[in-house]
Structure 1
Amino acid sequence: MKKIIIAIDGFSSTGKSTVAKQLAKELNYIYVDTGAMYRAVTYFALENDLIGEDFFHIEKLIERLDDIKITFKYNKDLGFAEVYLNGRNIEKDIRTLKVSRYVSPIATISEVRQKLVEQQQLMGKDKGIVMDGRDIGTVVFPDAELKIFMTASAETRAKRRYKELLERGHNLSYEEVLENVTTRDRIDSSREDSPLRKADNAIEIDNSDLTIEEQVDSLVKLAKTIV
């Protein structure tokens, strides 16, 4: 069967990664979590004191971009690829609220986006890929055969994220998570370089009341109508 590129964009905490992982598994495609790549850069910046509560050393980060090597390694036990930064597994480290607080400012830097977009485009050269993020259908793969834009209310997304973080043992309030979600929405949608927006030919899915299984089933059917 002909393989295609599936681009899944949308707001933070809409469950894009969860749906994309399962969709890729159903289609026997490669899955790439581009959000994890931006989180990896953010983690590097935090580790090296390049960003914090009241500072952001943008030029120093740009100077050190060549020191950042991001790779994905498939974990057979987990059933998905984990993120590695310079050879170190940081899959759990990048899923904290602290990283979430700073990932949107990091993603506004044009040099960061250029570096990661180049890598992402190389990953999709042979097609047969499901990639999710903020600008996949508009910038990374504007010619993708199937484009999806996922959305849900900020409150719904914050509740999902809050539950997920509690299950991981993080001690925080729902209000903190909601503030983080709305702040990321504002930064992602208003940045000058590759702002979050729905591609003209993308199919919008409001998944506020949909289960993961329902979303995956509908996307598998959509993909099969194309191939």
Structure 2
Amino acid sequence: MIPVLTIDGPSGVGKGTVARVIAQKMGWHLLDSGAIYRAFALAVESRGIDITDERALEQIAQNLDLSFKTHKDSELVSVYLDGEDVSKTLRTEKTGAMASKIAAIGVVRTALLKRQQDFAVMPGLVADGRDMGTVVFKNASFKVYLTASSMQRANRRLKQLQAQGHQGIIAQILAEVEARDARDSSRKHAPLKPAKDALIIDTTELSLDEVIAQVSKLVKA
């Protein structure tokens, strides 16, 4: 059985960073499911596909050419779509908003499910997302759910934008965070929620090292 660690939770809780660090420490593969939906959104946009055209969306999802590459001693994770590095484009607010809307479409989630499961290969996989432990890898060896206050997550997002040379208004970012939470947790298909057997960690007052220590302890145990 291939060992799988799922790390779920809303945006801004540090899922991506924790997943990357754990994957590097364990020597496991990495799956950023959020990047899959963002890359899918880019593919849909570049092809000029209407998101109401479910047949076209399904075809794109089934043939999505996507790969991830972690870098030693670096926080960067490169994402390649059709052989092109789209890492920076994926992280824009516009792409994230579109991805969230597309992720609520049942036919898209079904088509991308198998694509995500294919990432589970030896020696193991760390999967980061919103439904990794509840839907995609229901029988995962280890499950974690990260959470944090919406204000803390909005502040983290603001700092990310500023570090990238962009401006942001905290009230607007907070509203976007809360709107996305509501959309993700109330959607009909694979709503955002902790798996019943997941370790829940509130990262609001924790440092990155403290969160990683808890997750590492779970895997090692």
What is the TM-score when the length of structure 1 is the normalising length? 0.88
1:11, CA displacement in angstroms? Answer: 0.9
Q: Is the 8 A contact 2:62 2:115 kept in 1?
A: no
Deviation at 1:92, TM superposition (A): 0.5
Q: Is 1:99 the counterpart of 2:98 in the alignment?
A: no
- 1:79-98 alignment to 2 at 5 Å? 81-98=77-94
Tell me how far 1:46 sits from its aligned partner.
3.0
Identify the range of structure 1 (97-106 vs 70-79) with the bigger mean alpha-carbon deviation: 70-79
| Equivalences, count | 220
Identical residues among aligned pairs (%):
37
Residue 119 (structure 1) aligned with residue 118 (structure 2): no
- The answer (yes or no) to whether the contact 2:27–2:123 under 8 Å persists in 1 is no
Within 2, Cα distance between the matches of 1:207 and 1:74? 23
Secondary structure of the 2:159 match is helix
Residue in 2 aligned with 1:73?
69
In 1, the alpha carbon distance for the partners of 2:106 and 2:127 equals 20
Give 2:198's aligned residue. 202
The residue aligned with 2:127 is: 131
Deviation at 1:188, TM superposition (A): 0.8
Distance in 2, Cα, partners of 1:181 & 1:117? 25
Whether the aligned pair in 2 keeps the contact of 1:100 and 1:180 (CA below 8 Å) is no
Q: Which moved more, 1:147-156 or 1:42-51?
A: 42-51
Q: Residues 32 and 130 of structure 1 are in contact (CA less than 8 Å); yes or no, is this contact kept in structure 2?
A: yes
Distance 1:112 1:17 in 2: 22
TM-score normalised according to structure 2 size? 0.91
Superposed displacement of residue 35, structure 1: 0.7
> RMSD across aligned C-alpha pairs, in angstroms?
2.1
* DSSP 3-state at the match of 1:111: helix
> 1:161–1:177: 8 Å Cα contact kept in structure 2?
yes
Structure 1 CA distance for aligned equivalents of residues 73 and 141 of structure 2: 31
Name the CA distance, whole Å, in 2 between partners of 1:129 and 1:103. 23
Shift of 1:224: 0.6
- Structure 2 stretches lacking a partner, 5+ long: none
Partner of 1:215: 211
Segments of 5+ residues of structure 1 without an aligned counterpart are none
Q: Aligned partners of 2:95, 2:84: CA distance in 1, in Å?
A: 17
